[in-house]
Amino acid sequence: MVEIRSKSLRNLKRPLSAVVRMSLSLCLHRVLQIIIIIINVVQKEAEKKLKYKSLCIETERMWNLKCTIILVIIGTTGIATTSVRKNLETVPGKHSIDSLQKTAILGTSHVVRKVLQCEA
């Protein structure tokens, strides 16, 4: 028999197995939320690529230039796709993914703050 020495564990109202099951279900729920967010960002990347493809073709025909689409998509919570680093390397200059993520998060918080102030 295992002796429980911790006072916090002895004072639990639920059995320990219920607490473990509950924490596992919360962890699983959080992982599923993250997967859904990542899938949404990947879908958004595909949508943007299709959206700007016609503009790229039009630019190539009008000006006789080679056109490439460079997508840098960062979600409102700062999640970036795996191709962001590769796409940023094609753009000349020094770019930081961290600063782009910070900008996206600050923009989101600004919008949320404005909406909450209007309702108050």
> What integer pLDDT is reported at residue 104 of this predicted model?
87
Q: What is the pLDDT of residues 40-73, one digit of tens each?
A: 777 888 888 899 999 999 999 999 999 888 888 8
CA separation for the pair 51, 53 (Å, rounded): 6
Q: What is the pTM of this model?
A: 0.56
CA distances from residue 95 to 70, 101, 105 in whole angstroms, order as listed: 14, 11, 17
Taking the CB of residue 24, how many other CB atoms lie within 10 A of it?
Answer: 10
Q: What are the structural domain ranges in the chain?
A: 32-119
Sheet strands (E) in the chain? none
User: For position 61, what pLDDT does the model report?
Assistant: 93
Q: What mean pLDDT is reported for the chain? A: 75
